[in-house]
Structure 1
């Protein structure tokens, strides 16, 4: 992310602010990526350059309607389409909420494949799990993606922050969560170095 683009994310929402906007929305949604791991561990462990949520692709209009006055840009391979058309949305899965008054980005929305109430993994469509099993909640009700799935997505690039997130999260996983992550890694990223630590 360029320095200019990074600066445009400096005022992004907190998980609690996202939850406030989406209270009562009739669709499963959850905080994803690094923030999800912090919610799982019960504390913020590092700075976050943005905040991501995951939603079923078909439910995106319900999410969009909760942010009147803002616009959604779609993003793919480093390119940004401002105020995305339905066709541009259909061709991508990542969407950034922008404040048109400031140009700042406040929220990153992943529009995920699904079959009704079943989540489908973008990396392997054979991995399908009920939303009720993969969305957890903090004590104050903020939904977040199961840590084993967050780490599965982080494994692809395993950047320095991803390795730090893995190292900090694994000690908090239950044996069942470790086994699930190991099975998913072996399937999606065979031979991944993280397998040795699970």
Structure 2
């Protein structure tokens, strides 16, 4: 890796998911929007402002996405450090997050997550025993943008319980069907057995 980046960590002007999808048109490898934007693609409306844009790809496909997102500079993120990758350098095995810098604008545009699943199987990175067929857990918005299903997004958000995570859960809960609630409840029971969201899920 090279020297520390010059961009401040908060220098975000994230793309809308439509811009990411436009730039990835024609790429054959699986990808999908995650985080708060995934929930809003499911809702069909932007329910709150988003500071960033996150999407996930298979670790082995990193080079293909780096090529597709030409014009950006890529930075490995881990343990609070953000370090630029050399043009042909792959992230180390312990790196699961890559920030993408728009060099001309001097802004961060998108956050690429590296996952360990397969083209057929999605694997929850915090507990590899939790997995689902990719075709079942990745949805597609009305505009054709792939996104991770809301119950999987909420399982990730359950760890942090930030204000925005609580708000996202409150908005999503009434729309989750019985199967989605059961899956989310089982995942939270495994990962966070004393979580307050379990009481809410048990009431429905």
Quick check: 115-124 or 171-180, which moved more?
Answer: 115-124
Deviation readout 1:55-83 (Å, 9 max, x if unpaired): 11111111111111211101012110113
Quick check: 153-162 or 115-124, which moved more?
Answer: 115-124
Q: Distance in 2 between matches of 1:194 and 1:131?
A: 25
Q: Distance in 2 between matches of 1:103 and 1:83?
A: 16
Say whether the 8 Å CA contact 2:59–2:115 is kept in structure 1: yes
- Distance change >3 Å, CA 28–CA 116, structure 1 → 2: closer
Question: Offset of 1:117 from its aligned partner?
Answer: 2.1
Say whether the 8 Å CA contact 1:28–1:131 is kept in structure 2: no
Instruction: Describe how 1:85-96 pairs up with structure 2 within 5 A.
Output: 86=89, 88-96=91-99
Please tell me whether residue 35 in structure 1 is matched to residue 37 in structure 2.
yes
Question: Offset of 1:119 from its aligned partner?
Answer: 1.7
Quick check: 35-44 or 55-64, which moved more?
Answer: 55-64
Please tell me whether residue 125 in structure 1 is matched to residue 93 in structure 2.
no
> Where do 5+ consecutive residues of structure 2 fail to align?
1-7
1:63 maps to 65
> Where do 5+ consecutive residues of structure 1 fail to align?
none
Question: Offset of 1:90 from its aligned partner?
Answer: 2.8
Say whether the 8 Å CA contact 2:30–2:119 is kept in structure 1: no
Question: Could you tell me the TM-score, scaled by structure 2's length?
Answer: 0.90
Say whether the 8 Å CA contact 2:119–2:134 is kept in structure 1: no
Q: Distance in 2 between matches of 1:101 and 1:138?
A: 30
Q: Distance in 2 between matches of 1:119 and 1:178?
A: 18
Instruction: Describe how 1:41-120 pairs up with structure 2 within 5 A.
Output: 41-83=43-85, 86=89, 88-120=91-123
Query: Which has more helix, going by share of residues?
Result: 1
Quick check: 42-51 or 54-63, which moved more?
Answer: 54-63
1:174 maps to 177
2:4 maps to none
1:158 maps to 161
Quick check: 157-166 or 109-118, which moved more?
Answer: 109-118
2:188 maps to 185
